[in-house]
Amino acid sequence: MKEHKGANSFTSDRQTVVTIGTFDGVHAGHRKIIERLVNSANANNLDSVVLTFFPHPRMVLQKESGIQLINTIDERKQLLEETGIDHLVVHPFTHQFSRLTAMEFVRDILVNKLRAKKIIIGYDHRFGRNRTADISDLKSFGEEFGFDVEEISQQEVEEVAVSSTKIRNALLEGRVERANMYLQHPFTLTGTIVKGRGIGKDLGFPTANLEVREEYKLIPKNGVYVIRSVIDGKMVYGMMNIGTNPTVGGKEKTIESFFFDVDKNLYGKQLQIELLVRIRDEKKFASVNDLKLAMKQDQAFSMQYIKDNYA
């Protein structure tokens, strides 16, 4: 996959099949569209192109909306790369870009820059200044500029019964197993391991504190989760707490993981941590000893879960 930092720097040897969208999560529905894109490109001797935007339009046009995304832009790129497309265009969404009329967007970006011979798009896609144009407008532009439009019908969309909104809601409710089913891959948190308060080691459970840099990344509901990661090339399992550590008088929200069978200094490491299932709410225990007992139970639960599902 070739990555292009915007439509202006796009190049390809052949004309293209293009699909357009945010693709937050790169979930089951997105995967179906992209599969069609890749198949159509192969069948017609064209290059496959995903056109996506970053920042998300709502991060630019409704800054106060505080939108939370399932993926950071780097995670999105990685997931799209795994789908086998030829080109990913990450076009910067700016105020100026949002002022393009539908005709200008189609002519200047899709036709002249991306060399579109065919567009594959959902029945409800809207585009251009104030999102005024719809799929029937796109079909008329197709006749004018010489490209085909393949529509993904409402029925096909509803058959998949998945949406980024549904997944965001599941994650905010802590239902990661459901979210993972919709995603067809585990939800991931990516960041750097930073120093915490140094309480973990005393508890007998050193916890690696994950700092997620992207303020727009959705963090699932507070609580304890079974997790998995790759550390120095080796798959490891563990348990994570998302919350404020009320038992030890914490205030800031932290994301802390204890990995099983790991004894390593992890400070400064970049980790991608997959969340597999939620075990329980975070609680304020009467004593640190009660917290320790609960963590031992969490570990027993996690080991059993991993044995049953991943052994």
Ligand X SMILES: Cc1cc2nc3c(=O)[nH]c(=O)nc-3n(C[C@H](O)[C@H](O)[C@H](O)COP(=O)(O)O)c2cc1C
Ligand Y SMILES: Nc1ncnc2c1ncn2[C@@H]1O[C@H](COP(=O)(O)OP(=O)(O)O)[C@@H](O)[C@H]1O
Note the residues at the interface with ligand X (CB under 6 A). 196-200, 203, 205, 207, 209, 224, 239, 241, 245-248, 256, 258, 282-284, 291, 294-295, 298
Nearest-approach distance from CB 126 to ligand Y, in angstroms: 46
Residue 53 and residue 68: Cα distance in Å, rounded? 15
Q: How far is the CB of 269 from ligand Y (least distance, A)?
A: 8
Q: Report, in Å, the least distance between residue 195 CB and ligand Y.
A: 4
**Residue placing its CB nearer to ligand X in the complex, 197 or 307:** 197
Chain residues in the site for ligand Y (CB under 6 A): 193, 195-201, 206-209, 257-259, 262-267
Residue 188 binding result from ligand X, ligand Y, none, given CB thresholds of 5 to 8 Å by partner type? none
Q: Which is nearer to ligand Y, 40 or 229 (CB)?
A: 229
Shortest approach of ligand X to residue 176 CB, angstroms?
Answer: 15
> Cβ contacts of residue 12 below 8 Å, gap of 6+?
47, 49, 86, 87, 115
- The CA distance from 96 to 12, in Å, is 26
Least distance to ligand Y from the beta carbon of 246, Å?
A: 16
The entry of ligand X, ligand Y, none near residue 267 (CB within 5 to 8 angstroms by kind) is: ligand Y
* Pair 274, 239: CB distance under 8 Å: no
If phi > 0 it is left, if psi is from -120 to 50 it is alpha, else beta; for residue 54 that is: beta
**Spatial separation of the C-alpha atoms in residues 266 and 21, rounded to whole Å:** 36
Nearer to ligand X, 126 or 283 (CB): 283
φ, ψ of residue 200 to 5 degrees: the values are: -55, -45
Q: 224 contacts which partner out of ligand Y, ligand X, none, CB within 5 to 8 A by kind? A: ligand X
**How many Cβ atoms sit within 10 Å of the Cβ of residue 156?**
15
Partner from ligand Y, ligand X, none contacting 239, C-beta within 5 to 8 A by type: ligand X
Whole-angstrom Cα distance, residue 27 to residue 181?
A: 9
Nearer to ligand X, 146 or 204 (CB): 204
Considering only CA atoms, give the Rg of the chain: 22
Tell me the torsion sign for CA atoms 73, 76, 81, 87.
Answer: negative
CB of 216 to ligand X, least distance (A): 25
Distance (Å, rounded) from C-alpha 213 to C-alpha 56? 17
Q: Which residue is nearest to ligand Y (CB)?
A: 200
Q: Which of 28, 262 has the CB closer to ligand X?
A: 262
Token pair, residue 186, equals 């585990």
Give the one entry of ligand X, ligand Y, none that residue 264 binds, where binding means its C-beta sits below a cut-off of 5 to 8 angstroms depending on kind: ligand Y
- Least distance to ligand X from the beta carbon of 308, Å? 19
Residue nearest to ligand X (CB): 196
Is 99 within 8 Å of 75 (Cβ atoms)?
no
List helix spans (H) across the chain.
28-44, 57-61, 73-81, 95-98, 102-104, 135-145, 154-160, 164-172, 176-183, 200-203, 288-310
Q: Please, which residue, 181 or 231, has the CB nearer to ligand Y?
A: 231
